[in-house]
Structure 1
Amino acid sequence: MKLAQYLTDKKMSPEQFAAEMGSVSASGIRKWLYGERVPRPDQMRKIADLTGGLVEPNDFILAEAAQ
């Protein structure tokens, strides 16, 4: 699942998710959402943990490879 879809499904804003992440700003989250940047491996692990595994590292890696 893409992070954007997860946030939509959970009715979360980038600001709310950034607060849960604790180590990234809302603008950083938006860059991930728009494919401008890819989270670091440690951030990908935290995203997977916070989303209960619904958003996995491969969701970012495969999106990056498609560009």
Structure 2
Amino acid sequence: MNEGRCSHWNGTAGRYCHQTDHVRPYLQGPRCPVHTPAALAGLPEPDSTPLGAVVIDLAAERRRRRS
């Protein structure tokens, strides 16, 4: 499955979504905004967590150490 495409299976249509706009990684696989876990549950998307900032900082630190 292409990581740049939504991998939500639409059983009624018998196919994957394959949307490519605004796709983000989730535990279930890449998802477009319509098929995120929150969207499928009818809930609003949660705000960004501080953990996301920590992951970005760790990546920056790894790049800094390589230079």
TM-score normalised by L of structure 1 = 0.28
- Between 1 and 2, higher relative CO (CA 8 Å, sep ≥ 6) is seen in 1
More strand as a share of residues: 2
Larger Rg, first or second structure (1 or 2)? 2
* TM-score, structure 2 normalization: 0.28
